[in-house]
Structure 1
């Protein structure tokens, strides 16, 4: 499995940047991190001529923005001389430029902010989930750089198992981090046709899930010492995203992890996936979304070549 060693961090010149920079520096205590690219994108860097009057010697806007960001970033990395820091200031669409430079620099983890009280709509975060193929870490504005417990949403699909594997094998997280495998299940209404009571059928489902988790322990022996299995029933009125986030909070998660299922290019902009529902409700816990890197390559290339 590829370990993150090149990070791309999206900044927007708001107080959110301080949280992102501090969290990134915390992650960079890992000796495997080689490079971090901080990127800020403005729709336009042009200053109207009438506003230039009185400032004949003013440096270009991108130079001034880069200098301001460097002054904010570099103190956090003073004790990390082995990490190469670069600041990119670009003009255009924030999403398009973020994806383009992620591909150009071969970054394997993108960090972006999630705003609750700070100004900002979070639209970029939603679009990034739909459009990208690189792992994305969403950092809420109130996050503190602490990693003791990670909750991984597990439905035993290949995507959730892929996410679990990355959590257990990545060098980005502490080697002794506790991993809670959260399995949300729903008792189908068809249980009645089998002649069993609700309670009996639910017990059967929980036993089946426990067997599947025991198989995961065989596949990932590290779960034996630092893994925990938590099963939660979803009732009809429960929103799956809200339920996962609520249970992650109850588990005192420092990070929530999901493996996003691949979609066709035509379906990428359809709302309603579990991943997007979790993203919609999670405003407090850092959320990492893993994808299979080779999926959606054609769509991303098409996105980057079109307005």
Structure 2
């Protein structure tokens, strides 16, 4: 059963909107997404008239902004589109509103822009990743939509296997889409005390990964004829985030998929997770970060002011 039915796209009235809408239309064309919610959150809708001069007259600010966004969206989603599209402009904190509406609308995935040169800070996507329980797809600002090769970062934990399961269940992995499971491994310094050479221990670590991958193929038999294992050795001085992104780009990945371990509310704003390190170095590869459903509900409810 396809688990990717309802998605939400965060717009901010910048040039990034065009990229996000175009990429969303592409995803809808290759999957079974049924409904897309485009949402723009304005901190205050008390906007000076001169700012809205180029938009339709005789409308409240929210309706003017919505009309402008609808025009952009309809250029990619015409009247014959099988996908139901909803465009909303709301007042409030963008982070809080996206989290609130993703919960209300039972969203499977949020698309957020990843900015580097365009106007705006682009930090909203990272905040969504840190605070929400919904999965996030980071879309780079100048990406050209295509999906021929998906790289899934796996450490064989329940989180990475959950990410692999979710991407397979998303209908984005059409039969012609190649899948590479990338595993970064280290040779523990303890090999010296065991009387084993570095080269022998290196082979043991690679053999361990291959055995684990064989178990993955048993669990996901649909991968047998289309997935490969790519091993990357992490040296002591390597930054795991940079290492993963260098390899993803070398593999010409059209999408990188990661399963993120949730954080407790107390540790919420502590930087340094592998996911955040990878994101720090990722400037041009679309990346889905899958999170476990129902993880961190307590914190999210507290953030939204719910009992």
Q: Which residue of 1 aligns with 2:131?
A: 131
The answer (yes or no) to whether the contact 1:3–1:172 under 8 Å persists in 2 is no
Taking structure 1 as reference, are residues 50 and 253 closer, same or farther at Cα in structure 2, changes over 3 Å only?
A: closer
RMSD over aligned Cα, in angstroms?
A: 1.9
C-alpha separation between the residues in 2 aligned to 1:27 and 1:60? 33
Aligned to 2:300, the other structure's residue is in SS state: helix
Taking structure 1 as reference, are residues 233 and 83 closer, same or farther at Cα in structure 2, changes over 3 Å only?
A: same
Q: Which residue of 1 aligns with 2:76?
A: 76
Aligned to 1:293, the other structure's residue is in SS state: coil
Please report how far the alpha carbon of residue 227 of structure 1 lies from its aligned counterpart in structure 2 after TM superposition.
0.2
Q: Which residue of 2 aligns with 1:263?
A: 263
Taking structure 1 as reference, are residues 31 and 2 closer, same or farther at Cα in structure 2, changes over 3 Å only?
A: closer
State the TM-score, normalized to the length of structure 1: 0.94
Please report how far the alpha carbon of residue 233 of structure 1 lies from its aligned counterpart in structure 2 after TM superposition.
0.4
Aligned to 1:276, the other structure's residue is in SS state: helix
Please report how far the alpha carbon of residue 151 of structure 1 lies from its aligned counterpart in structure 2 after TM superposition.
0.4
C-alpha separation between the residues in 2 aligned to 1:157 and 1:191? 23
C-alpha separation between the residues in 2 aligned to 1:51 and 1:65? 11
Q: Which residue of 1 aligns with 2:207?
A: 207
1:25 counterpart = 2:25: yes
Taking structure 1 as reference, are residues 96 and 254 closer, same or farther at Cα in structure 2, changes over 3 Å only?
A: same
Taking structure 1 as reference, are residues 282 and 106 closer, same or farther at Cα in structure 2, changes over 3 Å only?
A: same
Q: Which residue of 2 aligns with 1:253?
A: 253
Please report how far the alpha carbon of residue 182 of structure 1 lies from its aligned counterpart in structure 2 after TM superposition.
0.3
User: Once the two structures are superposed, what CA deviation does each residue of 1:54-86 show, in whole Å capped at 9, x if it has no partner?
Assistant: xxx642111110000001111201175221111
Q: Which residue of 2 aligns with 1:120?
A: 120
Written as runs of structure 1 = structure 2, the 5 A alignment for 1:120-269 is 120-269=120-269
Aligned to 2:204, the other structure's residue is in SS state: helix
Q: Which runs of 5+ in 2 are unaligned?
A: none
Q: Which residue of 2 aligns with 1:302?
A: 302
Moved over 6 A (4+): 49-52
Q: Which residue of 2 aligns with 1:43?
A: 43
Please report how far the alpha carbon of residue 119 of structure 1 lies from its aligned counterpart in structure 2 after TM superposition.
2.0
User: Once the two structures are superposed, what CA deviation does each residue of 1:32-55 show, in whole Å capped at 9, x if it has no partner?
Assistant: 222111011111110359999xxx
Please report how far the alpha carbon of residue 4 of structure 1 lies from its aligned counterpart in structure 2 after TM superposition.
1.1
Aligned to 2:21, the other structure's residue is in SS state: helix
Q: Which residue of 1 aligns with 2:34?
A: 34
C-alpha separation between the residues in 1 aligned to 2:153 and 2:7? 24
C-alpha separation between the residues in 2 aligned to 1:87 and 1:236? 48
The answer (yes or no) to whether the contact 1:9–1:111 under 8 Å persists in 2 is yes
Q: Which runs of 5+ in 1 are unaligned?
A: none
- Single out whichever of 75-84 and 150-159 deviates more from structure 2: 75-84
Aligned to 2:29, the other structure's residue is in SS state: coil
- Single out whichever of 27-36 and 261-270 deviates more from structure 2: 27-36
Taking structure 1 as reference, are residues 232 and 79 closer, same or farther at Cα in structure 2, changes over 3 Å only?
A: farther
State the TM-score, normalized to the length of structure 2: 0.94
